[in-house]
Structure 1
Amino acid sequence: MKSLLLYEAGDLRCEEIEIPKIMPGSVLVKVKAVGVCGSDIPRVNIYGAYQPRTVMGHEFSGEIVEVNEAGAWKKGDRVVVPPLIPCGECHWCQSGNYSLCENYDYFGSRRNGAMAEYVDVPITNLLALPDGVSYEAAAMVDPAANAIHAIWNGTLQAGDTVAVYGCGPIGMFAIQFAKILGAKSIIAVDLKKEKLDVAQEIGADYVINCLESDPVKEINQITNGNGVNLVLETSGSPIAQNQCVCSAGKLGKAVFVGISHRNLELTKEAVNNILRRELIIKGSWNSFSNPFPGKEWTYSLQMMDEGKLKTDPLVSHRLPLEEGPAIFKKFSEKDFFFNKVLFLP
């Protein structure tokens, strides 16, 4: 089968490998759609995987084509696969906080993933697709679940004002969830006009291009100097993280979602805002809760099935696996525009 193998950082190859043999308690899934996550890009281009020749990809959906024991799942079932495989034994798993598992496995980094034609999946990691959810949409449940996990971490209330820094897929889903949950106004911040256009299409009330104006000043103007009740930072940029803290209003909440791989030094204005406005700053990691994989996944699927969560406007590229090595190189080009990139094996 064709697959995208990461040999080492900067060395991604499309090669033929054997179709996996399924073990007891697993099924074989034919991959129908697999997305490129923002975390895949530095893994492929800079840091490498945990093991050489790892098949990349953890945001995916597909069809079961082989089972090896009688059970609830059968050939032809349409599924989406949460990528975390928790140990089930550590303190955090026992308390239902699976995102904090201390000994987890993970598709596309710690074990072979789904940028391939087939992948073996434990039955505990299968979720059935509703009829109204396409394979492409299902491959985006993972970033959607991350978005709602962050919003619930920020305890969004109906009538709140919300700012979202970073209009990648997680940010785009956060905008839509904020609208669904009754936010009074939603402000989207990014440096790409194309992304801001999509953000406005899917529900942002205001858009700010941070290359053209200071988002903190713009947000203060929009909110009459009050700042927002909830601000989410999804880009991982230290500049945006500082601006995020400076955009929150009194007793506001700032939730950090984006992975930066860089040091963060808060400005004196940001620290002053934390103190004088008594801010709550939270981290949000992954998307899993009890019962596994959690309400983040089932709620996201429900909203997609009901047509309340849009996915098509987020997709910028649909590609065969053969174009994987080339597209990952293009991600490093400063002026190359992309949003959600899907491989369709």
Structure 2
Amino acid sequence: MIMWKVALVMIVTEVSGNGAKHNEEHHGTLCEVLKAVTAKWGEVKERDSSDPLKKALHKTIFGNMSATEKVSELKFPKDYYPSVTEEKVEPNSRKYWCGLCGRPGQKHYPGESATHDLVCLCTPGEFGHPVNGGGEKKLCGQSQGTWGADKKGWHTELFNDNEKERKHLSETWNKIIKDCLQSGNGDDLDTALKKFTDKLRSLNGNQYLGDHSDTSDCSGTAYGGVCVKYPLECVKNSWWKELEKATRKAKENRQNKDKEKIISESSEKGQKWKTLKGQQKTSEKTVQTPQPTPGVALLPKTEEAHNPQTVEKLLANISATHDENSSPIIKPHWFLMAALLS
């Protein structure tokens, strides 16, 4: 029996080996998402609880394990602490929490939150796998010493489903997850989420995050692997599916508002233009062609001025003309005659 387990260890090490840096890229992308979500949470946390984006961000950070809405107050969940006795505790062992969904009484499941998935991805398994055996091996950027010197780790036993060494979860929470809860750039959320989903690997109808083989159940043993396994029912209810849907809806809402703003501004400009044109037409109508000022006699052309009949007619008109005060204009006829005939 022992020899058979060793052979299995060798096979898995060969197919899932990732140098000395286990789950580094997967941890990095998931941590980026969590930082971006934490930043975005600061922008939307005051919204109504029914807001889709707020609900999705809350699920990503807090999952089902906390009633608080303050990231700074998020504590290591009490039900993550070791059970009083180490015995068969399905469906609340690593095998279930990190690889199965929908079992009656199951407290946690893969895809419940980004923080929970980090617990599965970054906690050493049986005998400290995969960072045991010396050398410079690291898991999620941490060496084995992060979890103590006892060289044990959280796992579900291969043949009897007994739960072992859950105490190491607290170190994962304090040394790895807390760092990912530091606020990043909320504007990078879409990019970070895309990088994360690109890292997921499909195999036998499941999706995986972290080192795994064809038979991995993510139970923490060398055979099962230190990973997160998402069966189809887990994917449907996962934090990232809800987050993708909510961010897409939020983007559509922003685009619709931008369109409405452009239309509104365009309409206002059009109305102003119509008003301006109307005022211009009204102004044109009210402008009249200047008329000769009453009381001013136009002098005849030079050749007509020497005609005696023209002169007499002009003198008669002038004699009948009044000034603006209705006073007769009296000029000596001889003076006018001389002026006209000169």
Q: TM-score, normalised by structure 1?
A: 0.20
Larger radius of gyration: 2
Query: TM-score, normalised to structure 2's length?
Result: 0.20
